[in-house]
Each structure stands twice: as C-alpha cells, then as structure tokens.
Structure 1
C-alpha cells in the first residue's frame, strides 16, 4: 500500500514538473498547476499568493473558491491580512503546515458575508527555491481539518517545484529585458554612426552650396535643405536619447535633466523623499517624462518647465508643468494624441495613473503616480 502511494506521488510530481517546465507565462502556469494539483489529489479548493518583500501580496492563482471568498471580484482575497501571510512574512512559515484555520473564512462565517461551502481550514506551504521565497500556496476541501504527513510532504515537494519554476520564469524575463536593452543600445549606436553622420554631411554640403550658388533662388533652396537637415538631426538626437538614455544609470532626475538640456528646455527641479526606485518604475517615469518634455518643446511655446519628484514608502509622484499655451483638455473625452495615450498605458501597466490638467492659454500640468 505504501509502495502504491509512493508510485502515485512520483506520478503526480512528474505530471506537475512537465506542466511547470513547459510554461513561460507565470500567471497561466500557476493557475494550470494549481488546477491540476487539486484534480489529481482530490482536493477541492486552492489559491496562491505571490508575496513581494514584507508588504505586498498578490492573488496569483485560485481554483473553486467559495462564494465568501470570491464575491466582489475576489475582494476578500485581495485586501487585509491573514495568518498564513503574516507567518510567511515574519519567518515562522518554513514548511508545509498542518493546519491553518483561515482568518478570511473565519471572518466570513462570523460576519455572515457569504457561504464558505463547508471550507474552514487549509494547509499552507511556502513557495521557495533555495533561500529565495516567492509566496504561499493554500489548499483545502470542505470539512477537511487534517492533512497527513504524507500529504504535507507531497505538497512541499510540489511547492518546491513551483518555486523553482517561478525563479526560472523570472530569470527568463530578466534576460529578455536585458536583451531588449542591448538591442536598443545597438540600434542607437547604428543610428548615431550612420544616419546621424549622413545628416551632418548633408548639412555641410548644403552650407557649401549656399556659398557657391550664383542666384538668390538657388541659395534659398540650399538654405532650405540645410534647415531640414538640421531639424532632422535634432529629431535623430531625440530618438537616440529615447533608445539609449544617457544618465539613467544615475537616476531618473539626471536622465530627464539631460534630456531637457538637449531640447534646450530649462528645468526647475524639486525633489522630496529619497528612495531607490524599481527598474520598471524608473523606466516608465523616464519614458513618460520624455514624452511630456517633448510635448513642451513642440507645443508649449515656452522653454521654462517645472519638474517635481516626490517619493514615499508606497508611491512615487512625478509632475511636469509648463506655463505655455496649453490646450483645452476634457477628461470625459478620448485622449487627443497617441503620445498621451502611451503615457497613460505605461503608468497603468504598473498599477499607476496619469492625470492631465490643461486649458488654452493657461499651460499644462501632467501628474504621474505609480505604486512602489
């Protein structure tokens, strides 16, 4: 009998490993593995929290949650604290544990906020790979208040497989981001070494043509060509900045100050709070700030721009303001340009927002808030 159980556990681990090794989309992988684990073990309900540091947790996967936990778009699972997360964060949860009474379920029962379908307890197991921890997996069934040591050992083995897969997927994502940055740098170098030099040569040739031309009409033509070449050079320098932001390694403030200087804008900078921003947040602020400063250069009719960056423990706020010509902006209408839409999209992808205030003749204020 014990041998049969051992064979069954090996089969389960093999099937889970195959699922984990095939996937590259973390959310999809976790959902599918959790669903499959519950099916082959005969358990009914499960959920996975990914936990970042000591503050944030995310409901990354769930299966057959009772109404008490799934109501209001899974609101009870996405807010407030619970015992398993608390124990994970303070270091007391180091292995599969038998058994946790669930605070979320207990609150639902006491407050009569929904049906728990007989689910009152769950086993909890941390997701880890070596010394790295990524979150917790909880599983249970109606009226089940005890897991055997064999069941806990199986859950712990599966959790280790999941933790290893999470680490692999995160490393793959980092490699993709590094590859993208390297490709941007290569493209920026190519543009600088080829197209930018050609435009510079064209500008010099046009200047020589102006000096050699024998008629006013021909001089004007060469002058027009020179102006176009110089304007194209300016656009090319801005594009190279966007691809390879010099100074971003020294922080978002240095990068945007350098970009403003390149655009011949005078930046009045105010910074409050000190924090090391996550790479994705810093890059998003850089791209949004680029777009906002470029709009100031093209449309505001002024070279004076106010810039502020305020960082707290849970949020960064960036403001870019000019006292230029402005435009009539209405929140209820669609954003008037692709650039403004891209700013909103970048912020939204990180759970943030972009607020735009502008009126014709009264300048423009762009406020960006992103959680950290």
Structure 2
C-alpha cells in the first residue's frame, strides 16, 4: 500500500473523529497495515500517572485474557520512562515487561512477541500517552521506521487533544445549560424557602444525591463530595449564585420586616388619632354630665361608665405600645402575660425545663400563642389558658390548652380556618409542626413541636 496515501487516510480519520476510541482503533489498524507490523496498543496517561487503554489491534491471547488485565493494570518500563520525562522520541524497547509477565504466568499464546517500539504521544509540548507496536520475532526497529511512527504519534496527539477540547466544551455547554435552568428555578423561590428546599433543587438540576453534598456546611460555603461530573468552574459559579441567593433572601426578609414595622406604626398612629381621641372625648363629656347631674344614682352610674372608659383608654395605650414596638423590648413571657391581661385571659405559664428559643422562633411562638389566646377569648367560653413547655433530646414542645367548649374542626372550619392556618404556617416557618386537638365539650389543645435547639438561643418564658 502506498505510504503517502495511507498517511492521508489516517490524517482524514484523525481530523474527522469526535470520539477517541472510535477514532484511534481504525487508525491503529491502518498503521499496522502500512508498516507490516502485527500488533499495537495505545495508552493515555493522565496527570496522576494513571493509564487507560484506548485502542488495540490484533493483540495476542496473552495480553487480552482476563479482559486485558495485563494491559489495563500495573506499570511497565515504557510507562515509567514516560512519567519520568525520559521518553521524548520513538525508541526500541529491548523487552516488553507485560509480555514477560504473560509468559511467567502462562496466560496464553504471545504470538512470539517479545519486543516493541514505544512512541510518545504529545499534543504540542504536553505528553498525553504512549503508542506501542510489535511483530513476531522483531527485536529492533530501523531509524526510518521510528521516524514514521513518531510522525504518526504527533498526528495522533494533536487529534486526541482536539477531541478532548471538543468534549470539554460540550460538557461545559451542558453544565451551563443546567446552571441556567437552575438559576431560573432559583429566582422563583421566596425568602421563606428553606435551605433543604434549595439543596433539593440543586440535586434535581444536576442529577446529584444527598451523599454528593456536604450538608454540614452552610449554603454560602456549600461544598461538593464525589462529584467528578461537576467541573471546578461550575462548582465555583454555583457557590457564587447560592451566596447571592442567600443575600437576596436576607434582603427580602428585611424588606418585609420593615414593611410590617411601618404597618404597625401606621396602625398605632391611627388608633391614637381616632379611637384614642374618641374615648378621651367621651371621658370628658361623661365627667361634664356627672357634674351637672344632682341625682345620686345617676351620678354613680355615670361615674361607673367613666371608669370603664378610663380602663378602655389604658388598655388601648397598651395595645398601641405593643403595636409600635412589636414587644421587642420585652422577653417572651412578659409579652404573653401582658397580652393575656390585655384581652382579659388568665395565662398560666410553665417552663420548668428552661426551654429556649432563637430570636426568629421566639417571634413566631409569641404570634402562635397570641392567636391561640384570641381564639380562646372569641370562641372557647373560658377566660383561662395554660401554656406548658417541654423538651427532650430530639425536640421542644409548646402546649397551649384551654378547657373551653371546643369545636368540631371539620364542621366549623370556616369560622376558624384563617387562625388555624396562621398557627400552622408560623410553626412551619421555623421548622416546627403545629397539631390541633379539639372536640365539642373537651376544650382545645395546640401542640407545637420544634427541633432541638440550634444557633443563638435565649431563655424564654421564665416567670
């Protein structure tokens, strides 16, 4: 076969190939035909020194038995020289160490192969692998043979590098497509979305498992385990976007808190300017009427009404104060006792185990208790509520009990639905679960269960 024509065919195959194995196998076969050699194999060797058999042609039984174990495992002289930087051009190897092992272990026919030529495969200055070729009884390769093999080795190296770059870009394009889809989903999540929900979205978008993510780290410092399918570039982008998302969550939460504060201040202002002034005006008019009356019984009645208005004014001021400050300056126990007194409900607190809550939990517990007290006042037909805190190694529990009339939750749901949903949602917001037990004639019990303490804690509900 004409060598130039064969070289042209090999060059065409190398230039058009997009997969290393499917590209190199026909090229290796064609090379053996051109040179008259019988067997050949190609290793790719990575930066860590691990080699991969990517092409083979007409190998003897001794090298292919046991699924090619001798070629796929272990080291040899040519690989050692390659890793030491001593293999810079095509050379004659005196003897093949792998063939020697095959003979020693009686693994099968070697087709009289004992020696091979070793040709380094380079992509520019970067060494990437080894080409070995051999023939029965051939123990020496001429200089022109080595030169031809070295030329083919350079072509193979250039083609492999091109395919690797193509594969890297294809992988990169796929990763950025996945990243784009993940970011679109990320922007639909609210500031109330939990970190676990965020991790679930991450796992779904990039086909990961829980074991691939270090769950001991915060989202801002999330690290990945056993994820060779994610490039360092992608991991870096993910960490940046997750940090930005958490910052966005904090800003949205702060915005809502500021909005709530403004609404509280507006409500307090409206109460002060309207109801407060009306009650104050009514108090003055009652005092004026009392001064003009002479009948003792009527004066006593007006004095009683005046006292009621005075007490209403006092309670309204308390409400305004709580609305303006949201009770931030008080500890939780004082907030609850004060609110119970304000609405006319006796509250008995019990926290013998010194159960503690974080700032965020404390706020939600107060709102949950507040809603439960309101429901007792409106619907239960009793003026007493008992609140008990418990804890064990796994959880903390807030129990709110009234001995009122109770209700049938299914039949009377429309009356209570907003308040009940509010309690459950507030519990979920801080990873808690609120359970209602009620029935007509047996009163109402809320059990709100929270996970074991974590983060900054405050002793709460201590009387």
TM range (shorter): 0.5 to 0.7
For residue 155 of structure 1, the aligned residue among 234, 241, 266 is: 234
Distance (Å, rounded) in 1 between the aligned partners of 2:384 and 2:433: 27
Q: Deviations over 1:270-297 (max 9, x none)?
A: 1144454244432222112112223334
- Equivalence for 2:85: none
> In 2, Cα distance between the equivalents of 1:353 and 1:283?
15
Partner of 1:102: none
The residue that corresponds to 1:84 in the other structure is 212
User: Which residue pairs with 1:133 in the alignment?
Assistant: 221
- In the alignment, which residue of structure 1 is the partner of 2:436? 355
- Distance in 1 of aligned mates of 2:241 and 2:363: 29
Instruction: Extract unaligned runs of 5+ from structure 2.
Output: 1-161, 453-463
SS of aligned partner of 1:162:
helix
Asked if residue 310 in structure 1 is aligned to residue 398 in structure 2, the reply is no
* Cα distance change on mapping 1:22 and 1:274 into 2, 3 Å: same
**Contact persistence 2:398–2:447 (CA under 8 A):** yes
Q: Compared with structure 1, are the counterparts of its residues 50 and 347 closer, same or farther at alpha carbon in structure 2 (3 Å cutoff)? A: closer
Q: Quick one: distance in 1 between partners of 2:330 and 2:305?
A: 39
- Describe the superposition over 1:30-74 as per-residue Cα deviations: whole angstroms up to 9, x where unpaired: 9xxxxxxxxxxxxxxxxxx9469xxxx9523454899xx9xxxxx
- Cα 1:364–1:135 change in 2 (3 A) is farther
Higher strand residue share: 1
Give the match for residue 329 of structure 1: 407
Q: Aligned to 2:445, what secondary structure does the other structure show?
A: strand
Q: Quick check: 1:26 aligned with 2:189?
A: yes
Does the aligned pair in 1 maintain the 2:398–2:449 contact within 8 Å?
Answer: yes
Cα root mean square deviation, aligned:
4.9
Query: 1 CA distance for matches of 2:401 and 2:360?
Result: 23
Partner of residue 285, structure 2:
206
Give distance in 2, aligned partners of 1:345 and 1:175: 19
Distance 1:51 1:352 in 2: 16
Q: Please say if 1:241 is aligned against 2:329.
A: no
Write the distance in 1 (CA, Å) between the matches of 2:184 and 2:411.
46
Of 262, 287, 297, the match for 2:342: 262
Post-superposition shift, 1:242? Answer: 5.4
Structure 1 residues 253 and 347, CA, compared in 2 at 3 Å: closer, same or farther? same
Q: Distance in 2 between matches of 1:14 and 1:271?
A: 53
Asked if 2 retains the 8 angstrom alpha-carbon contact of 1:27 and 1:61, the reply is: no
- Residue in 2 that maps onto 1:179: 258
TM-score, scaled to structure 2: 0.47
Residues 202 and 169 of structure 1: is their aligned pair in 2 closer, same or farther, counting only changes over 3 Å? Answer: same
Give how far 1:155 is off: 2.1
Bigger Rg over Cα? 2
Q: Partner of 2:351 in structure 1?
A: 271
Q: Deviations over 1:206-254 (max 9, x none)?
A: 32243155599x98899879867965874674476356432x4554323
Cα gap change, 1:158 to 1:251, in 2 (>3 Å):
same
Which of the numbers 400, 424, 429 marks the counterpart of 1:344?
424
Matches within 5 A, 1:26-175: 26=189, 50=195, 59-63=200-204, 83-85=211-213, 87-89=214-216, 132-134=220-222, 147=229, 152-175=231-254
Greater shift in the superposed pair: 154-163 or 332-341: 332-341
Give ranges in structure 1 of 5+ residues lacking alignment: 31-48, 70-76, 92-126, 140-145
Q: Name the CA distance, whole Å, in 2 between partners of 1:180 and 1:137.
A: 41
Q: TM-score, normalised by structure 1?
A: 0.56
Q: How far apart are the structure 2 equivalents of 1:21 and 1:65?
A: 14
What is the deviation of 1:198?
0.7
SS in 2 for 1:26: coil
- Aligned equivalents of 1:215, 1:138: Cα separation in 2: 93
Q: Could you report, residue by residue, the CA deviation over 1:184-206 in whole angstroms, capped at 9, with x for unpaired residues?
A: 44225424642353134223223
Partner Cα separation in structure 2 for residue 295 and residue 306 of structure 1: 14
Change (3 A) 1:259 1:64: closer
Instruction: Select which of 352, 357, 364 maps to 2:444.
Output: 364
Are residues 297 and 332 of structure 1, via their aligned partners in 2, closer, same or farther at CA, if it must alter by over 3 Å?
closer
2:370 to 281, 290, 297: 290
Q: How many residues align?
A: 283
